[in-house]
Amino acid sequence: MKIERTKRGARIIEDDVVLSEILSQPGPTHSLFDVLAAAVPALAPGPRFAMLGFAGGGMIAPLRAVDWLHPVHAVDLSDEAEPLFRELSGGWAGEVTLDKQDAERWLRGQRGKFDVIVEDLSVPSPIGTVKPYVSFDTLPQRILARLKPNGVVITNLLPMPGTEWEAMYARISSSYARATAIHLDDYENRIVIAGNTIPETRELGRRLRAVLAPLESDMLRQLRLRTIRFD
């Protein structure tokens, strides 16, 4: 993990992939973290929010900038970047708790259910940063079990050599009534939003843009959405 100081805070980099943009003030990162953050107030049916994969808390600055002020419950196998997050963002970030633990085990131990879960797990590999195997194996059902019936799961999905996007979509979201994939022009990643009561893709896009516009994020012009179908 490499830390690169910037004019606005710091950047955490691993295998040439930016894992987090940590800002010293609430505001846009002008990266995919803005879209992950915007999806929370745009779609969450309530305030109980879990973040699987924290790194340096890249979502927190845009999340607080759009007035989502509820507690954030995060988990990550590493807490190496937490001191930097507390240094740069601790004065304004509000209640952000981070448990150093395996995400699936952490979910099993939680009491109650969540309104929204963001799955932003990644691991280094010989071919670069990829999703861990658990993201497609047992974690999707664990997330489903810990979501309220009208809850939303938001996944930062990375390309996996030898695996089609559609196969990955099915593994993480086929248990829900609706799912939408978001493409961003500057990223290979795709953000998948799934839930039983999320709006149709056109309305979902309208809600996201309504949050990103006052944030003045560069991502506003990059959003391309499409409905995921499993039939």
Which superfamily, per CATH, for 24-227? Vaccinia Virus protein VP39 (3.40.50.150)
pTM value surpassing 0.85: yes
DSSP 1-64: -EEEEETTEEEEEETTEEEEEEESSSS--SSHHHHHHHHHHHH-SSS-EEEE--TTTTTHHHHH
Question: Average model confidence (pLDDT) for the chain?
Answer: 94
Digit-coded pLDDT (tens) for 185-195: 999 999 999 99
Whole-number pLDDT of residue 5: 92
Predicted confidence (pLDDT) at residue 88 exceeds the cutoff of 80: yes
Give dist(CA 3, CA 18) in Å, integer.
Answer: 10
pLDDT band of residue 18 (cuts 50, 70, 90) is: confident
Longest dimension (CA), the chain: 48
Digit-coded pLDDT (tens) for 38-68: 999 999 999 999 999 999 999 999 999 999 9
List the one residue out of 14, 19, 27, 18 whose CA is nearest residue 217: 27
pLDDT band of residue 10 (cuts 50, 70, 90) is: very high
